[in-house]
Structure 1
Amino acid sequence: MDTPQNTALTRALTELPGPLPARGVIHIVIPHTDRFTVVGNHLAQHAGLSTVAVGLAVRIQSLPQGTEIGIKALAARFPEGEKLIAAALRELEAHGYLRRAVTNLPNGRIVTRTVFCNQPTALLRTRVAAQLPARRQTPPQQPPPVQDPAPEQPAPEPPAPEPPAPQDHAPFVARVPPPTAPRQPSPPLPQPRELTAELDRAATALLSDLRRHAHQLVLSENDIRQLAPAVAAWLERDTHPDTIRHTLTNDLPQPLRHPAKLLKHRLTVLLPPPLPGADDLAAPARPRIAVTPFQTCDGCERAFRAPTPGHCRDCRNAHSPAQAAAA
């Protein structure tokens, strides 16, 4: 079979005015009437930006107002990874196309606003032009009138140098984490106390059956072997299989790029504690309070509290002076 030809493209080439170049690209320009974004050559042909940064800037310009353009949001929308997107955002911040500003809301919350300017050099030119009329309106200095010669006076001290003029704009502050920033190590997968053959078989079957309930959760055999001990740890803690299945399949992100990583995170972070035993659920025993018993005084037969029989306080005080005199 012959290679199919695009007859519409060939016909459009024949309708181009003037001679066509012998080599290089040939442009067929068809005006857009809807769904288009205007991109300046200062961005498309920027010598200091990488191709990834230029493409990401074009994509950001085409997004509607209010769209999230964080690293994770862009990585979920586009095929590039988070490291590549973070590096491209740093380039756009360095050249003035992107800016992240921290704003205090009236309710006390602090949010980060992302501002994208499609032509930052024109924005700076506008600020400079706005300041020029104010400077031009300053009346020119008139020459001093001619006066009679006066005796020589000591030369005045030179005026103090004027402070430097403030910058036209605040410098951009990069808020994208550098690629060498240390990452917190991920916690290890939970492991059962004893991985019996029955637990391993039940965990493997539960993981293999997940794609029936969520078509995104298609796991390889290697992924199932790595995740099976974590599911066995859940089963060992008397967690019902339906509860585990609901935890792993509920509210999945769209699109789901790495099913095994998501399941590993949920199995690790959402691990329930072991069920308490009957002794743990029993009400704690109240502490017994020792009560001093009542005694009957041997002298006046009045009741008083004392650990052993004897005399009350009044009788002891009355007998004390007499015993002291007898002694």
Structure 2
Amino acid sequence: MDTQHDTSLGHALTGIPGPLPPSGVIHLAVPHTGRFTVVGNHLAQHAELSLTAIGLAVHIQSLPTGAPVGVKRLAGRFPEGEIRIAAALRELEAHGYLHRVRLRLPNGRVVTRTVSCNRPDAIRAATPGRPAAVRAAACPAAVRRPAPDAIRAAACPVPVRQPAPVAPKPPLGAEATETREEPAMTAPAPAPPPASAPSAPEPARVPEHPPAPVLLPAPTAPRPPLAPLPQPHELTPDLHRTATALLADLRRRAPQLVLSEADVDRLAPGVAAWIERDAHPDTIRHALTTDLPQPLNHPARLLRHRLTALLPPPLPSTQDLTPPRRAPAASPFQTCDGCERAFRSHRPGHCRDCRDRNGEAA
């Protein structure tokens, strides 16, 4: 009573034609009518790919064009971690089922395009080396060129036969009158061209081989010149000695900053320019030893860049920090015409007491 039997599966097994095998898998194939992907047995039964890589290739082939297939996106979709998914992608790339192409967009950005191939053997047979179809699929629509004839032949290896034209059926009752076949009318042969007029040669067909797009700039592109190292107004012996001592002491703070004597002498004017601008030695050490890259291959180049790019401006003086004060406009002294006493006024005349005494207007 506690054992459940699937009666629908039993009825389906009885409908399979032929004898059932004694062991192994039994295929109960129901035709798909929508939402299906055709996968070749060369992928499903690959002898060298892992099961994770095969399942990942089937999932990628079932996605629509433009769907994201990054490692982080796939790790969020499936229970496998990023390490296993990255290893499976490398397997597919090694066997030709996946291609990752780096190219530069018109706006200057460098992006990675992922191309999924369902039949890598046909692509390899069509174009040896790097498939042109991969380049055509990876390039943007603005610079996309038609694929060579070999790629189109690989995509459709079997030519499609056009059906022969079918003659219309005669109307009912007309079989007896149309049983005889009329002799075919032969067209007259065209007259040969005159011998005096030579025929123009047919232009040679240029094979269609689009050049490969340039994805990245050449490694020998000219580099912009380096900015000059800051120089002090006057490199005195004391200032030079302080700058060289500070540079030689940097390896105590950061073991990566080991400089030669030539590098110390070359960078000393830059440190002297900082000291001349009233930069404290601790401030210079902090600017030169903070957030060092790992690994540090060229310490002298890094210090030269930081001494040039992080150079502080000169400290302002006290007068520059104090706003100017405007003195109040004072009236000049005048001598009273009555009592000869001094008073302030813009015009000569009498003082206030004399004006009050004489009744003059203010």
Same fold (TM over 0.5): no
TM-score w.r.t. the length of structure 1 is 0.44
Greater relative CO (CA pairs within 8 A, separation 6+): 1
TM-score w.r.t. the length of structure 2 is 0.41
Question: Radius of gyration: which is bigger?
Answer: 2
